[in-house]
Structure 1
Amino acid sequence: MIVALLNQKGGVGKTTLALHLAGAWASRGKRVTLVDADPQGSALDWSEQRAREGSKRLFGVVGLARDTLHREAPELARDADHVVIDGPPRVAGLMRSALLAADLVLIPVQPSPFDGWASAEMLALLKEARIYRPELAARFVLNRCGARTVLARETAETLADHDPPVLMSTIGQRVAFAASAQSGQLVSELDADGPAAREMAALATEIASIPCGKPAP
């Protein structure tokens, strides 16, 4: 399965979700490669920080911030159970290439009307990609949700009847994610029983259960 985390809006937590999704699957014995397709290279920076700290390598991180991604990612998938693409913000060529590479697109959004409006351009690109890849699956994922906030509940209700639909699993606004970014660790390594680790585990399980088409050769 090739999963691409994409949104035209920056700052929605794509890299954090990509890293922890890859880590959750790797911890279950899956072979995982994370593709850093963001020119900022934040996932590569995290991987280098992890190496400096002497932490065990859990999954490979490859930098592929170029618009040939749709041709190269399937090659990576031959030697992996899962390929996770950390997509770029507002780079149309790269975004289209990631869409053509993916079996499943995850669109992270925060519980805010502004995030909903910013997703319109992303959905237009998704519709365009489905002309060539009609089997391409997609889901919204609610990220950085405040506990029991009205806004988070209203955002989930708004997306409930949307296409693409919203995942049941949500990720909270957790200090643990900031600590993991600084240390090159996963939240499950910092606190295996903490809420952040439990939320990511539930998200990984739900995503793995989504039926997806195969990527184009």
Structure 2
Amino acid sequence: MKTIVVTSQKGGSGKTTLCAHLAVEAERMGDCPVWLIDTDKQGTLSVWHERRNAETPQRAEISLTQIEKGLTALANRGAKYCFIDTPPTISEQNVTVLKLADLVVIPVRPSPADLWAVSHTVALAQEEGKPFLFVITQSKANANITAQTVAALSHHGRVAKTFIADRVHYAAAMTDGRSAPELANKGQAAQEIAGLWQDIKSCFNENNNSLNK
């Protein structure tokens, strides 16, 4: 089983939305079973999941003190991927979760504030020796700030080729427990999520050391 931790020190980066969408996409593409774990006290991912009609992805309610044992149990049950949502802060809790990651996904909006916050998250991942991947979220078409953000992030590590644009479909789908591709399976959001999931899967087919040179 591969454990993917979605984390960012900056609130509003689209962390929970990304976590939910990627988990659904993995199931849709047959990369299953997929599980979700919500470690954020706000519980937004849990609320989304409770509103969801589909039975997959499944969510495990595991306390932080039992999370390592919980992940082992999920792996023993045949889980292929587990996505973990985290609080928007640097804490011992996040460090505990990062230690268990096979890949750390760091969503970043194209803004100076998000860039300033990235260094702490990157430092934690590097300290734990974990490969990480930046994902541009809430991007706007043809905006210079997006290109500038990608250039700045590239100095720290790898940036996913697929950007997640600022689209109404993402928020609209989340309100009733769905994903944007489920809302409009041939729309641009669906293409973005499909492309991003392939970007993430490719990380597991490469030597970890090549991710963050």
**Shared fold, TM over 0.5:** yes
The answer for the alignment partner of 2:74 in structure 1 is 76
CA deviation string 1:100-133 (max 9, x = no partner): 1100001110001111111121122222222xxx
The answer for the alignment partner of 1:42 in structure 2 is 44
The answer for the alignment partner of 2:35 in structure 1 is 33
- Unaligned runs of 5+ residues in structure 1 are 131-135
Asked whether the 8 Å contact 1:4–1:104 carries over to 2, the reply is yes
Asked whether the 8 Å contact 1:70–1:100 carries over to 2, the reply is no
What is the CA–CA distance in structure 2 between the aligned matches of 1:149 and 1:199, rounded to whole Å?
Answer: 17
CA deviation string 1:41-73 (max 9, x = no partner): 1111011112xxxx2212101233525434432
SS of residue paired to 1:25: helix
- CA separation of 1:67/1:108 partners in 2, compared to 1, >3 Å: closer, same or farther? farther
The answer for the alignment partner of 1:133 in structure 2 is none
2:5 paired with 1:11: no
CA drift at 1:91? 5.1
CA deviation string 1:6-35 (max 9, x = no partner): 111111011100000000010122210011
CA deviation string 1:66-89 (max 9, x = no partner): 254344323323321111111122
Stretch deviating more after TM superposition (109-118 or 162-171):
162-171
Aligned length: 204
Asked whether the 8 Å contact 2:90–2:121 carries over to 1, the reply is no
- CA separation of 1:32/1:4 partners in 2, compared to 1, >3 Å: closer, same or farther? same
Asked whether the 8 Å contact 2:133–2:157 carries over to 1, the reply is yes
Which amino acid in structure 1 is aligned with residue 7 of structure 2?
L
Asked whether the 8 Å contact 1:4–1:84 carries over to 2, the reply is yes
Asked whether the 8 Å contact 2:125–2:131 carries over to 1, the reply is no
Which amino acid in structure 2 is aligned with residue 152 of structure 1?
T
Alignment of 1:39-188 (within 5 A): 39-50=41-52, 55-64=53-62, 66-78=64-76, 79-90=78-89, 92-130=91-129, 136-160=130-154, 162-188=155-181
The answer for the alignment partner of 1:24 in structure 2 is 25
What is the CA–CA distance in structure 2 between the aligned matches of 1:165 and 1:98, rounded to whole Å?
Answer: 21
- Unaligned runs of 5+ residues in structure 2 are 209-213
Aligned-residue sequence identity (percent) comes to 34
TM-score, normalised by the number of residues in structure 1: 0.88
TM-score, normalised by the number of residues in structure 2: 0.89
